Amino acid sequence: MTPNFYRLIAAQFFSSLADNALLIVAMALLEFKGMPGWWAPLLKFFFTVSYVVLAPWIGPLADGMPKARLMAWMNLTKITGLLALMWGCHPLAAFAVIGFGAAGYAPAKYGLITELVPSQKLVLANSWLEVSVVCSVLLGAILGGVLISPLFEPLAQVLSQSALATLGESTPLQSALVCVLGLYGLASLINVFIQGSGKLYGHQRLHVVHAVRNFWLDNRKLWTDKEGGLSLAATTIFWGGGATVQFAVLKWASDQLGLPLSQAAYLQAAVAVGVVFGAAYAGRRVALSQAKHMLWSGVGLGLLLVLISQVHTTWVAVPILLLAGAMGGLLVVPLNALLQHRGCALLSAGRSIAVQGYNENLSVLVMLGVYAGLLKLDMPISWVMVAYGVAITVAILLLIKRSKRT
């Protein structure tokens, strides 16, 4: 792994850290404005829309220009969305803009890794990437919890009296947004020093009809490939379920453990800690040829979600959440590496990542939409978690059955 690779990891870490801290702060902002609780998952929903709607174009765009440059532009887009939020824009609209930046950032980031790293090191590279992503989720949840807690009030007072107060109304939450803005700025600074691979794929036609037609051909090619389709199905289930569980754990901690949002965010981080350990172990111990065997980890993840829904004490919840996270890390790292390997061989770096992002984020939209609907219907959160746990378990078992025929 070269210094350039580590710069890429660092840039995406701070950008993702800001995304996850911002989510917690924005949820607190919704509470402050008196909006209903089922609006919280809509923040992630609007963040994710661009991944799905723009999927036919972001792959060719990433292939047709230097990926490091595209990452820098998308970071500036995130900053624009955050500034709009600070100036009073509706949180959902602001998250749609930030999500647009994230959607363009993803294929450039993953595509650059496939160009910088040889195939025999893809599992290790994905371990680095997934650990950094999950660490950003972990630390972002913790940081978000701190930013909306009384611990942040002294610094908030200092920031509110500075020139940064001109960015919007002077409140503790506004000062928290200023801190998130600083993280996006740091990610942009690191991005300046990333050197691209220099690999381009020629002129990329972005005409609407042409792009959509080619995207669906790419989508079909990856789904019909034996290993590509299997790994794509697994990661699609994982990311859709994971995005929902991210919110479900927060509500479960509030409803069943009686924790406020600032403390529930710390409990959510327990899942991320487990994913770090699972991803790190997979990166060191699981070869690309063994990736399909890790589907059993997905079964364990689903069953643990059912178990955690029945827990009512924090000291019991934490180890179960850690184990659930580890199961997720063991599942996603090897299968993500297999998917990237097959996608790059069948298509190209940018196009395969665009197909992957489309399917995974469509799953996120569907599962978050269902989750928000269930909350609006006042379904108990324990029932919701049981339903999602059973659904994940059954889906992964079907994939295991399919893998034995390939």
Confidence of residue 156 (pLDDT cuts 50, 70, 90): low
Q: SS3 for 395?
A: helix
- DSSP percent split of the chain into helix, strand, coil, nearest 5: 85, 0, 15
User: Taking residues 24-31, what's their average pLDDT?
Assistant: 87
Q: Is the pLDDT of residue 96 over 90?
A: yes
**Mean pLDDT comparison of 13-22, 31-40, 355-364, highest-scoring range:** 13-22
Q: Is the pLDDT of residue 166 over 70?
A: no
- Residue 36 in any domain: the answer is yes
pLDDT digits (tens, 9 = 90+) for 356-375: 888 988 998 899 889 888 88
User: Taking residues 18-37, what's their average pLDDT?
Assistant: 86
User: Taking residues 317-336, what's their average pLDDT?
Assistant: 88
Confidence of residue 1 (pLDDT cuts 50, 70, 90): low
Confidence of residue 168 (pLDDT cuts 50, 70, 90): low
> What are the φ/ψ torsions at residue 313 (nearest 5 degrees)?
-130, 145
How many angstroms separate the CA atoms of 368 and 240, rounded? 8
Copy the structure tokens of residue 380: 């108990």
Q: Is the pLDDT of residue 48 over 80?
A: yes
Mean of the per-residue pLDDT values for the chain? 82
How many angstroms separate the CA atoms of 138 and 147, rounded? 14
pLDDT of residue 93: 92
Copy the structure tokens of residue 337: 């590496």
How many angstroms separate the CA atoms of 137 and 59, rounded? 25
- Stretch among 5-19, 111-125, 186-200 having the lowest mean pLDDT: 111-125
- Residue 155 in any domain: the answer is yes
- Stretch among 209-213, 269-273, 341-345 having the lowest mean pLDDT: 209-213
Looking from the CA of 311 toward its CB, the CA atoms found within 13 Å total 19
Q: Is 109 exposed, middle or buried (0-12, 13-18, 19+ CB in 10 A)?
A: buried
Question: How far is residue 184 from each of residues 5, 130, 131, 195, 313, measured CA to CA in Å?
Answer: 19, 19, 19, 19, 36
pLDDT of residue 192: 84
Confidence of residue 309 (pLDDT cuts 50, 70, 90): confident
DSSP codes joined into one string, 254-315: HHHH---HHHHHHHHHHHHHHHHHHHHHHHHH--GGGGGGGHHHHHHHHHHHHHHTT---HH
Residue 359 sits in a domain whose CATH number is 1.20.1250.20
pLDDT of residue 256: 86
Confidence of residue 320 (pLDDT cuts 50, 70, 90): very high
**Structural domain count of the chain:** 1
- Residue 305 in any domain: the answer is yes
How many angstroms separate the CA atoms of 289 and 7, rounded? 29
* Residue 62 contacts residue 106 (beta carbons within 8 Å): no
Confidence of residue 8 (pLDDT cuts 50, 70, 90): confident
How many angstroms separate the CA atoms of 201 and 288, rounded? 26
Residue whose structure tokens are 């590496």 = 337
- Residue 61 in any domain: the answer is yes
User: Taking residues 119-133, what's their average pLDDT?
Assistant: 74
* Residue 338 contacts residue 127 (beta carbons within 8 Å): no
Beta carbons within 8 Å of 112's beta carbon, 6+ residues apart: 8, 67, 68, 71, 194, 196, 197, 349
- Residue 201 in any domain: the answer is no
pLDDT of residue 160: 64
pLDDT of residue 196: 64
User: Taking residues 228-251, what's their average pLDDT?
Assistant: 87
pLDDT of residue 386: 92
pLDDT of residue 169: 58
How many angstroms separate the CA atoms of 192 and 216, rounded? 34
User: Taking residues 106-117, what's their average pLDDT?
Assistant: 76
- Range(s) of the domain holding residue 183: 3-195+206-403
- Residue 236 in any domain: the answer is yes
pLDDT of residue 163: 47
Considering only residues 51 and 405, tell me which one the structure prediction assigns the higher pLDDT: 51
Alpha helix locations (H) across 117-171? 122-147, 153-160
With pLDDT > 90 as the criterion, what percentage of the chain qualifies?
Answer: 18
pLDDT of residue 183: 92
* Residue 401 contacts residue 296 (beta carbons within 8 Å): no
DSSP codes joined into one string, 42-109: HHHHHHHHHHHHTHHHHHHHHHHS-HHHHHHHHHHHHHHHHHHHHTT--HHHHHHHHHHHHHHHHHHH
- Residue 396 in any domain: the answer is yes
**320 DSSP 8-state letter:** H
pLDDT digits (tens, 9 = 90+) for 181-221: 989 999 989 988 887 665 655 555 556 677 778 888 888 99
User: Taking residues 221-250, what's their average pLDDT?
Assistant: 87
Rg (CA), the chain: 20
Q: Is the pLDDT of residue 103 over 50?
A: yes
pLDDT of residue 77: 93
- Residue 200 in any domain: the answer is no
- Stretch among 17-26, 108-117, 197-206, 357-366 having the lowest mean pLDDT: 197-206
